[in-house]
Amino acid sequence: MKYDIVVLGAGIAGISAAIKAGSMGAKTILIEQYGFLGGMSSAGMVGPFMNHYVDNKPLVKGVFHQIEEEMQKSFGMIDNGFFASNFRNATYSLLKSYNVDILLNTVIIKSYTENSNISSIDVLNFNKIYNIESKVFIDTTGDAQLLFLSKIPTLKGDEKTGVLQAMTLFFRMGNIDLIKAIDYVKNNLDNFFQWVEKDFNLNKIISIAGYFEQVNNAKKQNLLNKDVNYIFFTTLPETGEASFNCTNILSLDGSVSSDLTKAELIGREQVFQIVDILKNEIPGFENSILLETAYQVGVRETRRVIGDYIITEDDLLKCRKFDHPIARGCYGIDIHGAKGEEDVMQEIEKGRFYEIPMEALYVKGIRNVLSAGKSISATRKAHGALRIMPTSSATGEACGAIAALSVRKSIDIRDIDYTELKNYIINNLN
């Protein structure tokens, strides 16, 4: 097979890269290990979309907004929450409309490098190996898998200790009496995080986190894994359904198969424990039902690219602006601590935003590879802010535009005229 652009990994970053490249006329293929699209948005049931607004105006538009609109057409998105199945359907429709080829159930197993240039890759699709040549490769695997197989140096975890953020297995419950659940929260505010809103609007998504008393009592009775610290869920309006993000899986590496297997088993055990607490101890959940668990445990961090520029926490906290910005963000540094490590949440000053430079998308020392999304070139703390889905979509879209311009003009990805590139990603810059 021969393509202009190969995108590896069909999470939101890879999908956005492929849509942009396809929309600009490049012959593009998107390769994914699962039999469906979406990455963590789909397999991990990760949602809702995290904050990307300043003064009620979105910092990320472009392809990300196209995905939102497509989900809204089929009533698959409410506020910033969405159904994983609708995300899969919406992104498939957009990729198809831009003539992007898709190869599912496929993993990369080898790469071929010549003169700091990756010329082709081998991929395994069930029992057949294909060799795919390409002018530009975009690594949006989330684990920098292409770079790992190419023996290109990467970073992983904390710079001093190497520890990785906690993993989480999402799950969804239905038949919840939301009015009864909310009344309990209102009357027991000390049992919840202070940031939980006091004025509940059942027509919008509600976030509730805490139930400290019930969690602590369950741990004392050995009815709950001691690593679980709270129960946290977001609702879907008028459905009696909620998505839960509160399992806490520590000291495992999401890029190692044996660790990922352990994480799946630990996560599912925690889910069943939490469901028992909800049904037996928490008002509003007496008749609730466990509807589904995510296909895969949610992995927050593994390998990160070493780019031409490494984004730092100072860049974000000081809201730094760059000469060649390709995306903007306002989400703070959010680190779910490893065992023995404190959680971190450092907010960005209200009304301000930071920029992400084009140079952070290039892989240092490699001529034709770009990377975006969860493996973006950043320090661990900066990565804790940049890993969210809206920002991943914007960085993926920029990679797709850079790659398509490189192919169209037959020039190196680093020789792209930024002024011209800006015309293709302007929606994410104003």
Residue 163 belongs to a domain: no
From 263, 293, 323, give the residue that closes a domain.
Answer: 293
Residue 22 belongs to a domain: yes
Model pLDDT, residue 336: 94
Check whether residue 60 and residue 207 sit in a common domain: no
Residue 165 belongs to a domain: no
Residue 162 belongs to a domain: no
Check whether residue 386 and residue 422 sit in a common domain: yes
Residue 230 belongs to a domain: yes
From 293, 319, 340, give the residue that closes a domain.
Answer: 293
Model pLDDT, residue 201: 86
SS (H, E, C) the chain: CEEEEEEECCCHHHHHHHHHHHHCCCCEEEECCCCCCCHHHCCCCCCCCCCCEECCEECCCHHHHHHHHHHHHCCCEECCEECHHHHHHHHHHHHHHCCCEEECCEEEEEEEEECCEEEEEEEEECCEEEEEEEEEEEECCCCCHHHHHCCCCEEECCCCCCCCCCEECCEEEECCCHHHHHHHHHHCHHHECCCCCCCCCCCCCCEEEECHHHHHHHHHCCCCCCCCCCEEEEEECCCCEEEECCCCECCCCCCCHHHHHHHHHHHHHHHHHHHHHHHHHCCCCCCCEEEEECCCCECCCCEEECECCCECHHHHHCCCCCCCEEEEECCCEEECCCCCCCCEEECCCCCCCEEEEHHHHEECCCCCEEECHHHCCECHHHHHHHCCHHHHHHHHHHHHHHHHHHHHHCCCHHHCCHHHHHHHCHHHCC
Check whether residue 326 and residue 235 sit in a common domain: no
- Mean pLDDT, 10 residues at a time, the chain of 430 residues: 98 98 98 96 91 95 97 88 90 97 97 95 95 98 96 95 96 96 96 91 90 98 97 87 96 96 98 98 98 95 97 98 98 94 93 98 97 97 97 98 98 97 96
Residue 166 belongs to a domain: no
Check whether residue 9 and residue 114 sit in a common domain: yes
Check whether residue 263 and residue 384 sit in a common domain: no
From 293, 328, 353, give the residue that closes a domain.
Answer: 293
Model pLDDT, residue 159: 95
Model pLDDT, residue 305: 97
Residue 164 belongs to a domain: no
Check whether residue 61 and residue 111 sit in a common domain: yes
Model pLDDT, residue 199: 84
Provide the domain limits for residue 152. Answer: 2-157+302-428
**CATH number for position 328:** 3.50.50.60
Check whether residue 12 and residue 135 sit in a common domain: yes
Model pLDDT, residue 204: 87
Model confidence, pTM = 0.96
Check whether residue 372 and residue 392 sit in a common domain: yes
Check whether residue 7 and residue 153 sit in a common domain: yes
Check whether residue 335 and residue 243 sit in a common domain: no
Check whether residue 148 and residue 176 sit in a common domain: no
Could you give the number of structural domains in the chain?
2
